[in-house]
Amino acid sequence: MRAVLLLSPEKLVLTEKEEEPVGHGEVKVAIRAVGICGSDLHTFKGLNPNARLPVIMGHEIAGEVAEIGGGVIGAEVGDRVVIEPLLRCGKCFHCVRGDYNRCTDLKIMGVHSDGGFCEYVVVKESMIYELPKEMTYAEGAMVEPTAASVHAAIKRGRIDLGESVAILGSGTIGLLLLQIVKACGASFVLVTDVVESRLKVARRLGADLVVDVREEDPVKLALEQTGGLGVDVAFEAVGKEVVLKQALQMTRAGGRVIIIGIYGRPSVKIDVMKTIFNKELVMKGSRVYSSGDFDRAIDLIRRREINVEPLLTHLLPLEETEKGIKLMIEHKEKAIKVHLKP
Ligand SMILES: [Zn+2]
Ligand SMILES: [Zn+2]
């Protein structure tokens, strides 16, 4: 099969790779759509500390079951599916409780092991979810980032009716978070970015205030909008020190700051006393998704509670993977989500 391999940072090759055999309890999925994630951009640049090169990137995968192994009872050839790309042990303290994103041996397809920038993947039956017939493959490939946003907003952020929320960064995750916190009943949502076209999409998707941080101070505006108090919850969906500082400053005492952005440079310097201790802030990480999040994400897209269509800006053939990655790095004004079609 054709596969796009990242040999070393910034060195991608289209290569021919032998297809993996389908073992007991496994299914082979013919990939119909796979998204390029912001974390793939980090991996491409050599800035993802979790990545193990060489690797086939890609973890936002939808496709069609092409072959099933022995013992598979819930899938048939021809089924339309989405893949939950987490390889977990299934036995540790966290896995047993359904918090498999905290598995002591967690591996993510396309990061620690080969992913979906290729024609076929072989996965355990437990990793596939049925793609409802009302949804396209492109929408199917949006389930993974939607599940991560559901996890961040609901399980980690615990958004409640009437709360004020700041979403820092309006890439795919920010724009999905926006729609989810609105659906949860947030009454005021501020969204920031440095790209005007993305802020336009945010406004169209229901943001109450959009802030171009090149021109305006988001902390000042967040405080103004909340009577000087600060927002109840801030989501850091960029992965930069300066943005984390904004989140800490604009959140009210006793509020929550949720980190969902990936930090290419993970060491940051913050004033713990002023920003966390004195304010009794709660700061939480939000990593991928756990039990139930994928089902919820599929349902939200199927019922059109979440509109992924404005985010889907490009569809390219697998051969143009590098072009897609560069579009997302260099042309943020045009590209939000780039999908590849093997
Ligand atoms: Zn991702
Ligand atoms: Zn585990």
Other CB atoms within a 10 A radius of the CB of residue 134 amount to 10
Distance from Cα 291 to the centre of ligand 2, integer Å: 13
Q: Which ligand is nearest to the CA of 35?
A: 1
312, β-bridge pairs = 337
The answer, yes or no, to whether residue 260 has pLDDT greater than 90, is: yes
Tally of structural domains, the chain: 2
Residues 93 and 14 in one domain: yes
Ligand in closest contact with the CA of 260: 1
* Cα 263 versus chain centre, distance: 14
Quote the ligand 1 centre to 71 CA distance (angstroms): 30
Report the separation in Å between the CA atom of 110 and the middle of ligand 1, taken as the mean of its atom positions: 9
Residue 95 resides in a domain: yes
Model confidence at 18: pLDDT above 90: yes
Q: How far is CA 190 from CA 149, 151, 233, in A?
A: 16, 20, 11
Q: How far is the CA of 107 from the centre of ligand 2 (A)?
A: 10
Q: How many CB atoms lie within 10 A of CB 253?
A: 10
Q: Does the pLDDT of residue 49 top 90, yes or no?
A: no
Angle at 283 between CA 278 and CA 286, to 5 degrees: 175
Q: Identify whether residues 97 and 65 lie together within a single domain.
A: yes
Q: Tell me the CA–centroid distance for residue 108 and ligand 2, in Å.
A: 13
For ligand 1, the distance from its centroid to the CA atom of residue 279, given in whole angstroms, is 32
Flag whether 291 is in a domain. Answer: no
Residues 173, 193 contacting (CB under 8 angstroms):
no
Tell whether 226 and 125 lie within a shared domain: no
Write the CATH number for 186: 3.40.50.720
Is residue 290 assigned to a domain? no
Q: Side chain identity at 171, as an amino acid letter?
A: G
Supply the range of the domain harboring residue 154.
149-285
> Residue 297 pairs with which residues in a beta bridge?
none
Average pLDDT, the chain: 97
Same domain, residue pair 324 and 236: no
Could you give the percent of the chain with pLDDT greater than 70? Answer: 100
Instruction: From residue 311, give the alpha-carbon distance in Å to each of 13, 71, 186, 237, 307.
Output: 27, 38, 21, 16, 8
Ligand nearest, relative to CA of residue 92: 2
- Cα–Cα dist 5/177, whole Å: 31
* Per-residue pLDDT at 50: 84
What is d(CA 238, CA 135) in angstroms, rounded to the nearest whole number?
29
299 domain residue, yes or no: no
What CA–CA distance (Å, rounded) separates 93 from 107? Answer: 16
Give the pLDDT mean for 293-301: 98
Ligand 2 center to residue 127 CA distance, Å? 14
Q: Tell me the β-bridge partners of 65.
A: 29
CB atoms within 10 A of CB 23: 12
- Tell whether 129 and 9 lie within a shared domain: yes
Split at pLDDT 50, 70, 90, the class of 48 is confident
Phi/psi of residue 275, nearest 5 degrees: -95, -25
Regarding whether 182 and 92 lie in a shared domain, the answer is: no
Give the ligand at the shortest distance from the Cα of 109: 1
Tell me which of 239 and 50 has the higher pLDDT. 239
* Within a domain: 198: yes
Give the list of residues 6+ apart from residue 274 with CB closer than 8 angstroms, or none.
none
Q: Within this chain, do residues 280 and 164 fall inside the same structural domain, yes or no?
A: yes
pLDDT score recorded for residue 268: 95
Which CATH number fits the domain that encloses residue 323? 3.90.180.10
Is 103 a domain residue?
yes
Place of tokens 């092409």: 66
pLDDT at 297: 98
**How far away, in angstroms, is 59 Cα from ligand 1 center?**
6
Q: Are both 277 and 328 inside the same structural domain? A: no
Same domain? For 84 and 16 the reply is yes
Residues 165 and 242 in one domain: yes
Q: How close is the Cα of 72 to the center of ligand 1, in Å?
A: 27
> Percent of the chain at pLDDT above 90?
97
Kindly report which listed range (44-48, 119-123, 133-137, 249-253) carries the lowest average pLDDT score: 44-48
Length of the chain: 342
Average pLDDT (26-49) is: 95
Where are the extended beta strands (E) located within the chain? 2-8, 11-16, 26-35, 60-68, 80-83, 86-87, 107-108, 120-124, 128-130, 164-168, 188-193, 209-212, 231-236, 251-259, 282-285, 312-317, 337-341
Q: pLDDT tens-digit profile of 315-338?
A: 999 999 999 999 999 999 999 999
Residue 171 sits in the same domain as residue 259: yes
Count of CB atoms situated within 10 Å of the CB of 329: 14
Average of pLDDT values for 38-52?
Answer: 91
Q: Which has more confidence, 50 or 261?
A: 261
Does residue 295 lie within any of the structural domains?
no
Cα 73 to averaged position of ligand 1 atoms, centre (Å): 29
**Distance (Å, whole) CA 72 – CA 27:** 8
Q: What is the pLDDT of residues 63-91, one digit of tens each?
A: 999 999 999 999 999 999 999 999 999 99
Residue 265 pLDDT greater than 90, yes or no: no
Residues 72 and 187 in one domain: no
Average pLDDT over residues 137-146: 98
ipTM: 0.97
Q: Tell me the mean pLDDT in the region 191-197.
A: 97
pLDDT tens digits, 99-140: 999 999 999 999 999 999 999 999 999 999 999 999 999 999
Residue 326 within any structural domain of the chain: yes
